[in-house]
Amino acid sequence: MRHWRFALSIAILMCCANSYAQSAPAAADAPRTFHDPTYKISFDYPANWNFARRDREISTFRLDARTAARTTLLRAVVGMPENPFPASTFSSAYVYFSVTPRVNDAACARQAEPAVQGRRGGESEIAGISFAHGHDEQKSICTVQRDEIYTTLRHGTCYRFDLAINNFCGGEVSGVKDITEQELDQVRGRLEAILGTVRFDAK
């Protein structure tokens, strides 16, 4: 009888362990939600991404978001935790959320005006929100930083999202290849997926 009870106990423990093992990855993959109670906005991001509310903890906002106004305030940033293309010149990728209080629609839209010659800005509707959409790039020997800028005005505050992708030059020296347009599109798609979850609080 004791052997039977012992075997039953082991079977129950194994069943519970299997159930936990199956549910644990799902919990780890569940997205996290950032909510800004002051500016009444939320967005989701992957649980394994880096997150900060302050500048210079995981990145430098002013270096990546060059067209932001001096009065722009960083509210949150999430960063890709791994290099999806380690054999390339990819360095990092971030989604920044910032606000500029007390501005008008024209001033807000100007933050998203393209700073790249030959590229045009425009309007984009994402998650039911209309954004002014622009582009910025920084170059040295090669393009080292790309920024997709999205701004929208709400109650006198300019809401801004920067989708920044950084890479380094000198692939010939370090033995890696320049990141390709297809690889950039894949990284950009992951950043845009976060932007697609943005929503304002219901009134």
Q: Residues 149-191: pLDDT tens digits?
A: 999 999 999 999 999 999 987 655 567 888 999 999 999 999 9
CA-closest candidate to residue 164, choices 86, 94, 61, 82: 94
Instruction: Name the DSSP letter for residue 33.
Output: E
For residue range 78-126, what is the model confidence (pLDDT) as tens digits? Answer: 999 999 999 999 999 999 999 999 999 999 999 998 876 556 678 999 9
Using the CB atoms, write b or e for 27-42: b if 16+ within 10 Å: eeeeeeebebeebebe
d(CA 113, CA 150): 10
Banded model confidence at residue 19, pLDDT cuts 50, 70, 90? very low
Q: Given strand 41-45, what is the order of strands in its sheet? A: 32-36, 41-45, 199-200
What is the identity of the amino acid at 116? V
Q: Helices in the chain by DSSP H: which ranges?
A: 2-29, 61-64, 105-110, 171-174, 181-195
Q: Tell me the pLDDT tens digit for each residue of 29-74.
A: 689 999 999 999 999 999 999 999 999 999 999 999 999 999 999 9
CA pair distance 162, 74, nearest whole angstrom: 11
